[in-house]
Amino acid sequence: MEVNQVADDLRAKVLDELRENGRASYAQIAAKYGSTRRLVTHIVQSALEHDELRITVSISPDLLNLERFAYVQIALDGPIAAAREAVVAMPETTFVAEITGSYGLDAEIRTGADPHLRDTIDRIRQLPHVRELRVHHYDSIEMNLYSPIRTGGTGFVLDDADRAIIRHLQHDGRATFRELAAAAGISASGARLRFTRLTRHGAVKVVGIPVRGSHSAAITVGAGIQVRGPLEAALKCVKELRPEFLAVASGGYDLIATLSGSSNDEILGLADSLRSRPEIARVDTWANLRMHKEQYGEGDRLSAAFGEP
């Protein structure tokens, strides 16, 4: 294998490790792949400096008082820019991308209790050049690589120190416990205990999110899946493909997934695997050409949930 290919393979593996855990030990990653801590650190720092990676904290929907979830495909009859910018600016959207197919734009929406979701969808309908919406309600989110999954409650109440730790992680997901302690006004051991508690209960998750609009190596495809036979059997076979995201949906699809890979061949292989399974009746796919937003509990939404101005 050529030297450049070896370097590219190591880089992909390192960044994959951080997608799973943004605070993963560089030394342990290096040992796992037969590299050095120095090289792993260089790979990560280069990705951060070139705006190819963002290490931040995702917040549980339970902490943000989010109850309703939907995926919206948006068809337009004119320039996309105005509608796209408006959808990105909405605090209710966590994911926004330009996609292939008859729907040029898509978004994931997370809202509070009714009628918040309905009102949000109405606002999207009224945006410039929006011709049609296709709305899929999520009955449950089964997998989300970049965000904790709603459980109906985190089992504890945040205090000011917890909030300070989360706030600091938002800006520096790999902050040391000493730095987190300084931000929260507690000891380093106290910061470690609080962080462990937050992650153990699924309240937060530190993740390395690819900034996918800036480079072509991160390829993702949305998949709308109709199931043949029991839903649980289909869920199991889709989970085996390790999608970034998987939800049980109501509407045009029984399941909605996001598949990712480092090459077109890898994505095509995943799609073929889906289509070949007897549990799957039909698969529609659309490529995410450019992602404009991927945030799970940041900015104004976090401030509102924490009661901050």
For the segment 264-305, what is each residue's pLDDT rounded down to a tens digit?
A: 899 999 999 999 999 999 999 999 999 999 998 765 566 555
For residues 272-285, one letter each, b for 16 or more C-beta atoms within 10 angstroms of the residue's C-beta and e for the rest, the string is ebbeebebbeebeb
Q: Mean pLDDT of all residues in the chain?
A: 91
CA atoms within 13 A on the CB side of 272: 6
Q: Report residue 273 as tokens.
A: 């695997």
Note the pLDDT tens digit of each residue in 107-116: 999 999 999 9
Q: Report residue 287 as tokens.
A: 């490529």
Q: What is the pLDDT of residue 155?
A: 65
Separation of alpha carbons 95 and 88, rounded Å: 8
Note the pLDDT tens digit of each residue in 174-210: 999 999 999 999 999 999 999 999 999 889 999 999 8
115 cis-preceded (ω within 30 degrees of 0):
yes
Separation of alpha carbons 286 and 223, rounded Å: 7
CATH numbers and ranges of domains, the chain:
3-50 (1.10.10), 68-147+212-294 (3.30.70.3460)
Q: Average pLDDT for residues 135-146, to the nearest whole number?
A: 95
Q: Which residues pair with 97 in a beta bridge?
A: 106, 291
Note the pLDDT tens digit of each residue in 29-41: 999 999 999 999 9
Q: Judge whether residue 123 has pLDDT over 50.
A: yes
Q: What is the pLDDT of residue 89?
A: 96
Q: Report residue 121 as tokens.
A: 């969808």
Secondary structure string (H, E, C) spanning 76-143: ECCCCHHHHHHHHHCCCEEEEEEECCCCCEEEEEEECCCCHHHHHHHHHHCCCCEEEEEEEEEEEEEE
Separation of alpha carbons 143 and 189, rounded Å: 32
Q: Average pLDDT for residues 218-224, to the nearest whole number?
A: 88
State the pLDDT confidence band at 154, using cuts at 50, 70 and 90.
low
Alpha-carbon Rg for the chain, nearest whole angstrom, is: 20
Q: Judge whether residue 221 has pLDDT over 60.
A: yes
Separation of alpha carbons 258 and 223, rounded Å: 6
Size of the chain, expressed as the number of residues it contains: 309
Q: What is the pLDDT of residue 216?
A: 47
Residue of 50 and 309 predicted with greater confidence: 50
